[in-house]
């Protein structure tokens, strides 16, 4: 069976076909996972190729454009390979993979809390407003600002917020992915939703203060 | 702003709401300035997060990462069984689990070795310890008095410093028998008959068996007077310190303990009486006593204590720590008390011979020895030779005090034996399952182990052999039994909710039923009868 490249949340299929697609993907992934547990290297390679981009995207959303992202990505796969023996298919493989990603990302995030001034200093130079040639630069800048704002959330709130808002996961899925009670997840999300706009505004204010004034020498 | 408002506002900002739901939220936002502000913030955040996909990577950028991951995977998956086992073990012994296992092992060792009641010096085996086994020697009723075991341990001139007393004479129906005494003395010359006064030093202790079979333990730094001592009437007066009593049940006997203004009357019970500076404290661990103080009577039941002061009496629940501290003493006494086969009807009747002075059957003698010898023998950490129960010992008329290694201390050998250290240290044949009264720290360790093995309902993890799901159900039952109903209702909700939202499989029907019935029970206790009925209707 041909697995969809976005096998979980990357692009959400229409609601009518989503369940069917997910069921098919789940069966195919289950088969691959079972073979990996039996030591099938080819099955792992197939599993890796199919899910690599999604795992990378999740880690990118969780950690931002970090120079350590490749290392974290490899660490996530090492952890995933170790933990796959314990995966009993009681949940979807995607949830299992997000759980591993959350653990690895949390471990990484805890070691690199930074101040907003430092974060802004690392951002690219502010792009001049308007104009098509600058569109990609502006998008990149906006993306960097969002990640800088995410960096100001606590690691646990950040993971929940990213899973809820950027990956559109349901609360129960997030609770399973982060191994926390549902109400804890709800509480973290509530706080993160309150904090994120403020953090974003703060980062944008600091960033604007660095914007070069036109006509200045 | 309420949490549900925030959720709705974010749903609206993300475009997840449509139709009437969206209109309702919009109307609410329009009317609520705070919500409008939150909505604007959410909209800007959503707008900023619109495209956060990682930048595309060229295949050559992936190559190094792919190679590293796949190479690791191949090495791992193609590893031999031994390597796999090693990897699994290394997985198992992650730093987190290693630390957890080390902590658990340390706690376990601590629990086993922790001594809630460290052995007091009075119980330390030493040459100063005086032992007196219960006289299991069968004596002929008509035997000459000299052959009736008129075995008296003489403290002699050193009586003031004498550490041990042992008495069993022809009038043994009216004397107390010293089962064991350490650093104890009596102002009576040779026997603990009526009127005798027993004192223990700061690190001393005296265990006595009374003529009617009850046993008492005079604790350290205590003093008591045997005011009345007969099978029909026992009256002990606590002058100082504490006396622990394990009284046998006797209908035709009065048993009183007097301490200051308080007079404690018992039938058959276990209790302790402490003489305080201005009154007394009566602590009952089992049965019931009647305390007379200030011309009024108060019943004190097991698990209660009564404090008597010169003007008042105050009853309260006996603390667990006190119960724990009394338990080993009571257990020791219970191994000593002896039921009396017959009690004379009239005080003037000839004193019947008890086991102490009479000639019991061999089986009785053997039972008495089996019961008493280990206790008496191990109280001071030494053992009694089996010869103490043999008929040969009947010829032992007098036990002689033998000086110990210390000039101030001396020890008595068991009846019928010489004071030989080797024989004193001969191993007992005590039942290994019996508690070792002479080694309270061992008993403490055993108690600790039992407590450890018992389910700790406050622990965050289940006991061995119980799943977490089941443990949480049992915790709820336990809380409901204890009357803590509000936490039960919360836990029941959480337990069910977790299965609805998290678990891939439904809960075990029996466990679910137990949870619901426990919930119903608690609802009834809280007076929410209608809700309880509904629950019971769903779970008949």
Q: What is the 8-class DSSP label of residue B175?
A: B
Tell me the CA distances in angstroms from B336 to A17, B208, B217, B351, one per residue in order: 82, 9, 11, 21
Q: Is A57 on the interface with B (CB under 8 A)?
A: yes
A182 neighbourhood in chain B, CB within 8 Å: 497-498, 501-502
Q: Quickly state the pLDDT bin for A189 (edges 50, 70, 90).
A: very high
Q: Quickly state the pLDDT bin for B453 (edges 50, 70, 90).
A: low
Question: What are the DSSP calls for A103-169, one per residue?
Answer: HHHHHHHHT----HHHHHHHSPPPPPSS-GGGHHHHHHHHHHHHHHHHHTS-HHHHHHHIIIIIS--
Instruction: Give the A window 99-138 contacts with B, CB below 8 Å.
Output: none
B91 neighbourhood in chain A, CB within 8 Å: 82
| Residue in A40, A57, A81 closest to B54 by CB | A57
End-to-end CA distance of chain B: 42
Nearest of B234, B227, B264 to residue B248 by alpha carbon: B234
Q: For B238, what's the count of Cα atoms within 13 Å in the CB-facing half-sphere?
A: 32
Which tokens is B12 given? 């609206």
**What values do phi and psi take at A82, rounded to 5?**
-70, -40
Q: What is the pLDDT of residue B328?
A: 82
Q: What is the pLDDT of residue B447?
A: 65
The chain B residue lying nearest A186, using CA atoms, is: B3
Q: What would the pLDDT profile of A59-85 be if each residue is shown by its tens digit?
A: 998 888 878 888 889 989 988 888 887
User: Which SS3 state, helix, strand or coil, does residue B329 take?
Assistant: helix
Q: Is B102 on the interface with A (CB under 8 A)?
A: no
| Residue in B52, B68, B498 closest to A146 by CB | B52
Tell me the CA distances in angstroms from B375 to A135, A163, B313, B435, B439, one per residue in order: 93, 68, 36, 9, 10
End-to-end CA distance of chain A: 62
Q: What would the pLDDT profile of B389-423 be if each residue is shown by its tens digit?
A: 333 333 333 333 333 333 333 333 333 333 333 33
Element (H, E) at B61: helix B59-77
**What values do phi and psi take at A155, rounded to 5?**
-55, -45
Higher pLDDT, B54 or B153: B54
Q: Is A200–B45 a contact, with Cβ atoms under 8 angstroms apart?
A: yes
User: Which SS3 state, helix, strand or coil, does residue B524 take?
Assistant: helix
Q: Is A23 on the interface with B (CB under 8 A)?
A: no
Instruction: Give the A window 25-44 contacts with B, CB below 8 Å.
Output: 36, 39-41, 44
Tell me what percent of the residues of chain B surpass a pLDDT of 90: 0
Q: What would the pLDDT profile of B317-358 be if each residue is shown by its tens digit?
A: 888 888 888 888 888 887 777 655 444 444 444 433 333 333
Tell me the CA distances in angstroms from B92 to A103, B99, B108, one per residue in order: 17, 12, 20
Q: Is A81–B3 a contact, with Cβ atoms under 8 angstroms apart?
A: no
Q: Is B51–A198 a contact, with Cβ atoms under 8 angstroms apart?
A: no
Q: What would the pLDDT profile of A108-150 be if each residue is shown by its tens digit?
A: 887 766 555 555 555 655 554 544 545 667 777 788 888 888 8
Judged against a pLDDT cut of 70, whether residue B134 lies above it is answered with no
Q: Is B498–A182 a contact, with Cβ atoms under 8 angstroms apart?
A: yes
Tell me the CA distances in angstroms from B82 to A80, B79, B285, one per residue in order: 21, 8, 59
The chain A residue lying nearest B64, using CA atoms, is: A70
Buried b (16+ CB within 10 A) or exposed e, A18-35: eeeebeebbebbeebbeb
Q: What angle do CA B37, B40, B44 make, to 5 degrees?
A: 140
CA torsion B345→B351→B356→B360, rounded to 10°? -70
Q: Is B73–A200 a contact, with Cβ atoms under 8 angstroms apart?
A: no
Q: Quickly state the pLDDT bin for B449 (edges 50, 70, 90).
A: low
Q: What is the pLDDT of residue A188?
A: 92
Nearest of B248, B246, B267, B244 to residue B256 by alpha carbon: B267
Nearest CA to CA, how far is B502 from chain A (Å)?
6
* Pair B485, A71: CB distance under 8 Å: no
Which tokens is B296 given? 């009024």
A70 neighbourhood in chain B, CB within 8 Å: 64-65
Rounded distance between C-alpha atoms, residue B279 and residue B259, angstroms: 7
Q: What is the pLDDT of residue B23?
A: 86
Q: Is B65–A73 a contact, with Cβ atoms under 8 angstroms apart?
A: yes
Pick the range with the lowest mean pLDDT from A7-16, B66-75, B256-265. A7-16
Q: What is the pLDDT of residue A185?
A: 92
- Most confidently predicted of A128-137, A178-187, B114-123, B321-330: A178-187
Partner residues linked to B178 by β-bridges = B208
Nearest CA to CA, how far is B522 from chain A (Å)?
24
Please list the alpha-helical segments (H only) found in B262-312: none
Contacts of A91 (CB under 8 A, 6+ apart): A176, B504
Nearest of B207, B243, B222 to residue B131 by alpha carbon: B207
Q: Quickly state the pLDDT bin for A14 (edges 50, 70, 90).
A: very low
Nearest CA to CA, how far is B453 from chain A (Å)?
29
| Residue in B45, B69, B87 closest to A48 by CB | B69
Q: Is B74 on the interface with A (CB under 8 A)?
A: yes
Q: Within 10 A of B190 (CB to CB), how many other CB atoms are there?
A: 17
Q: Is B85 on the interface with A (CB under 8 A)?
A: no
Q: Is B502–A194 a contact, with Cβ atoms under 8 angstroms apart?
A: no
Q: What is the pLDDT of residue B346?
A: 42
| Residue in A41, A91, A186 closest to B77 by CB | A41
The chain B residue lying nearest A179, using CA atoms, is: B502
Rounded distance between C-alpha atoms, residue B128 and residue B181, angstroms: 10
Q: What is the 8-class DSSP label of residue B506?
A: P
Judged against a pLDDT cut of 70, whether residue B184 lies above it is answered with no
Q: Is B78 on the interface with A (CB under 8 A)?
A: yes
Q: Is A198 on the interface with B (CB under 8 A)?
A: yes
Q: Is A9 on the interface with B (CB under 8 A)?
A: no
Judged against a pLDDT cut of 60, whether residue B368 lies above it is answered with no
The chain A residue lying nearest B57, using CA atoms, is: A53
| Residue in A48, A60, A139 closest to B51 by CB | A139
* Pair B488, B517: CB distance under 8 Å: no
Tell me what percent of the residues of chain A surpass a pLDDT of 70: 72
Q: What is the pLDDT of residue A209?
A: 77
Q: Is B511 on the interface with A (CB under 8 A)?
A: no
Q: Is B20 on the interface with A (CB under 8 A)?
A: no
Residue whose token pair is 């010169």: B310
Q: Is A194–B77 a contact, with Cβ atoms under 8 angstroms apart?
A: no
Residue B408: exposure state from Cβ atoms within 10 A (0-12, 13-18, ≥19): exposed
Question: What are the DSSP calls for B192-258, one per residue?
Answer: -BTT-EEEEEEEEEEEEE-TTS-EEEE-TT-EEEEEEESSSEEEEEEEEEEEEEEPPP-TT-EEEEE
Rounded to an integer, the average pLDDT of B426-451 is: 52
Rg (alpha carbons) of chain B, rounded to whole number: 36
| Residue in A57, A70, A91 closest to B504 by CB | A91
Instruction: Give the A window 148-167 contacts with B, CB below 8 Å.
Output: 149, 165-166
The chain A residue lying nearest B78, using CA atoms, is: A39
* Pair A76, B72: CB distance under 8 Å: no
* Pair B27, A215: CB distance under 8 Å: no
Contacts of B44 (CB under 8 A, 6+ apart): A197, A200
Phi-psi domain of A78 (left: phi exceeds 0; alpha: psi -120 through 50; beta: other): alpha
| Residue in B6, B54, B77 closest to A60 by CB | B54
Which tokens is B359 given? 């000639």
**Angle in degrees, 0-180, between the axes of helices A41-63 and A15-37, rounded to the nearest 10:** 120
Phi-psi domain of B191 (left: phi exceeds 0; alpha: psi -120 through 50; beta: other): beta
Distance of CA A183 to the CA centre of its chain: 22
Element (H, E) at B353: none
Which tokens is B38 given? 């939150």
Give the pTM. Answer: 0.41
Q: Is B89 on the interface with A (CB under 8 A)?
A: no
Q: Within 10 A of B75 (CB to CB), how many other CB atoms are there?
A: 11
Q: What is the pLDDT of residue A160?
A: 93
What mean pLDDT is reported for chain B?
67
Q: Quickly state the pLDDT bin for A157 (edges 50, 70, 90).
A: very high
Rounded distance between C-alpha atoms, residue A41 and residue A35, angstroms: 8
Nearest CA to CA, how far is B23 from chain A (Å)?
22
Q: Is A169 on the interface with B (CB under 8 A)?
A: no
Judged against a pLDDT cut of 80, whether residue B104 lies above it is answered with yes
Q: What is the pLDDT of residue B441?
A: 59
Q: For B45, what's the count of Cα atoms within 13 Å in the CB-facing half-sphere?
A: 31
Partner residues linked to B215 by β-bridges = B209, B246
Q: Within 10 A of B421 (CB to CB), how many other CB atoms are there?
A: 14
* Pair A150, A195: CB distance under 8 Å: no
Q: Is A145 on the interface with B (CB under 8 A)?
A: yes
Which tokens is A168 given? 């559109």
| Residue in A70, A186, A193 closest to B10 by CB | A193
| Beta-strand pair B233-246/B254-259 | parallel
Q: What would the pLDDT profile of B480-535 be if each residue is shown by its tens digit?
A: 888 888 888 888 888 888 776 666 667 778 888 889 899 998 998 888 888 888 88
Q: What is the pLDDT of residue A135?
A: 61
* Pair B243, B225: CB distance under 8 Å: no
Rounded distance between C-alpha atoms, residue A46 and residue B156, angstroms: 97
Nearest CA to CA, how far is B457 from chain A (Å)?
21
CA-based torsion, B21, B22, B25, B26: positive or negative: negative
The chain B residue lying nearest A139, using CA atoms, is: B51
Judged against a pLDDT cut of 60, whether residue B365 lies above it is answered with no
Q: What is the pLDDT of residue B7?
A: 83
Nearest CA to CA, how far is A165 from chain B (Å)?
8
Rounded distance between C-alpha atoms, residue B260 and residue A182, angstroms: 63
The chain B residue lying nearest A59, using CA atoms, is: B54
Judged against a pLDDT cut of 60, whether residue B459 lies above it is answered with yes
Which tokens is A65 given? 């454009």
Q: What is the pLDDT of residue A184?
A: 92
What is the count of residue pairs from A and B with beta carbons less than 8 Å apart?
A: 99
Please list the alpha-helical segments (H only) found in B382-434: 421-424
Q: What is the pLDDT of residue B12?
A: 87
Buried b (16+ CB within 10 A) or exposed e, B460-475: eebeeeeeeeebbbbb
CA-based torsion, B319, B324, B325, B331: positive or negative: positive
Q: For B222, what's the count of Cα atoms within 13 Å in the CB-facing half-sphere?
A: 27
Q: Is B498 on the interface with A (CB under 8 A)?
A: yes
Q: Is A190–B52 a contact, with Cβ atoms under 8 angstroms apart?
A: no
A171 neighbourhood in chain B, CB within 8 Å: 501
Nearest CA to CA, how far is B48 from chain A (Å)?
6
Contacts of B119 (CB under 8 A, 6+ apart): B439, B440, B441
Which tokens is B306 given? 């009564």
């Amino acid at each position: 069976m041909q697995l969809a490249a976005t096998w979980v949340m990357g692009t959400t299929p229409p609601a009518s076909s989503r369940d069917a697609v997910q069921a098919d993907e789940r069966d195919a992934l289950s088969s691959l996972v079972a073979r990996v547990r039996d030591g099938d290297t080819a099955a792992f390679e197939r599993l890796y190729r199919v899910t690599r981009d999604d795992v990378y995207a999740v880690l990118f959303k969780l950690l931002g454009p970090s120079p350590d992202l490749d290392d974290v990505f490899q660490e996530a796969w090492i952890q995933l390979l170790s933990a796959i023996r314990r995966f009993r298919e009681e949940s979807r493989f995607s949830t299992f993979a997000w759980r591993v990603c959350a653990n690895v990302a949390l471990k990484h995030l805890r070691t690199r809390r930074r101040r907003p001034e430092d974060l802004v200093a690392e951002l690219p130079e502010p792009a001049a407003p308007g104009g098509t040639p600058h569109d990609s630069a502006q998008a990149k800048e906006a993306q960097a600002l969002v990640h800088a704002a995410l960096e100001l959330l606590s690691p646990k709130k950040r993971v929940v917020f990213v899973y809820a808002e950027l990956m559109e996961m349901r609360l129960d899925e997030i609770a399973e992915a982060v191994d926390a009670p549902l109400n804890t997840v709800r509480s973290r999300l509530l706080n993160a939703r309150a904090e994120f706009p403020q953090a974003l505004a703060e980062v944008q204010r600091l960033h604007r203060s660095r914007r070069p004034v036109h006509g200045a020498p | 702003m309420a949490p549900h408002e925030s959720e709705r506002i974010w749903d609206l900002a993300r475009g997840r709401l449509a139709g009437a739901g969206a209109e309702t939220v919009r109307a609410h936002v329009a009317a609520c300035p705070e919500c409008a502000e939150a909505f604007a913030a959410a909209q800007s955040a959503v707008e900023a997060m619109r495209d956060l996909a990682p930048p595309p990577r060229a295949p050559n950028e992936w190559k190094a990462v792919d190679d590293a991951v796949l190479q690791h995977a191949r090495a791992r998956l193609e590893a031999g069984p031994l390597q796999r086992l090693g990897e699994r073990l290394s997985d198992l012994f992650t730093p987190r689990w290693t630390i957890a296992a080390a902590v658990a092992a340390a706690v376990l060792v601590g629990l086993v070795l922790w001594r809630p009641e460290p052995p007091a010096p009075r119980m330390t085996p030493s040459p100063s310890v005086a032992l007196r086994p219960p006289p299991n020697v069968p004596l002929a009723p008509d035997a000459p008095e000299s052959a009736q075991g008129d075995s008296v341990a003489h403290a002699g001139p050193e009586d003031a410093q004498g550490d041990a007393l042992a008495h069993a004479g022809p009038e043994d129906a009216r004397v107390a028998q010293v089962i064991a005494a350490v650093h104890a003395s009596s102002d009576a010359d040779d026997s603990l008959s009526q009127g005798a006064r027993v004192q223990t030093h700061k690190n001393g202790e005296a265990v006595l068996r009374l003529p009617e079979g009850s046993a008492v333990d005079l604790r350290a730094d205590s003093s008591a007077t045997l005011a009345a001592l007969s099978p029909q009437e026992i009256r002990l007066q606590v002058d100082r310190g504490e006396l622990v009593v394990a009284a046998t049940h006797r209908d035709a006997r009065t048993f009183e303990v007097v301490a200051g203004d308080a007079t404690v009357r018992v039938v058959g019970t276990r209790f302790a009486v402490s003489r305080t500076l201005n009154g007394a404290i009566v602590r009952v661990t089992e049965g019931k006593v009647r305390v007379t103080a200030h011309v009024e009577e108060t019943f004190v039941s097991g698990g209660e204590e009564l404090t008597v002061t010169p003007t008042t009496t105050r009853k309260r629940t006996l603390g667990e720590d006190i119960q724990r501290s009394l338990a080993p003493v009571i257990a020791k006494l219970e191994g000593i008390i002896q039921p009396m086969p017959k009690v004379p009807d009239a005080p003037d009747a000839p004193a019947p011979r008890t086991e102490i002075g009479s000639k019991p059957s061999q089986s009785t003698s053997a039972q008495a020895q089996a019961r008493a010898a280990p206790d008496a023998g191990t109280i001071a950490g030494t053992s009694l030779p089996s010869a103490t129960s043999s008929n040969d010992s009947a010829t032992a008329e007098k036990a002689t005090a033998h000086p110990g290694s210390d000039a101030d201390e001396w020890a008595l050998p068991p009846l019928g034996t010489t004071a030989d250290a080797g024989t004193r240290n001969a191993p007992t044949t005590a039942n290994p399952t019996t508690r070792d009264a002479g080694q309270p720290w061992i008993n403490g360790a055993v108690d600790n182990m039992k407590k450890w093995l018992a389910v700790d309902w406050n622990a965050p993890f289940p006991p061995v052999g119980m799943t977490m799901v089941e443990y949480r159900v049992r915790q709820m039952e336990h809380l409901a039994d204890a009357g803590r109903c509000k936490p039960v209702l919360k836990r029941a909700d959480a337990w069910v909710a977790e299965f609805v939202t998290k678990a891939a499989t439904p809960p075990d029907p029996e466990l679910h039923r137990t949870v619901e019935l426990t919930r119903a029970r608690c609802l009834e206790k809280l007076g929410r009868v209608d809700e309880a009925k509904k629950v019971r209707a769903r779970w008949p």
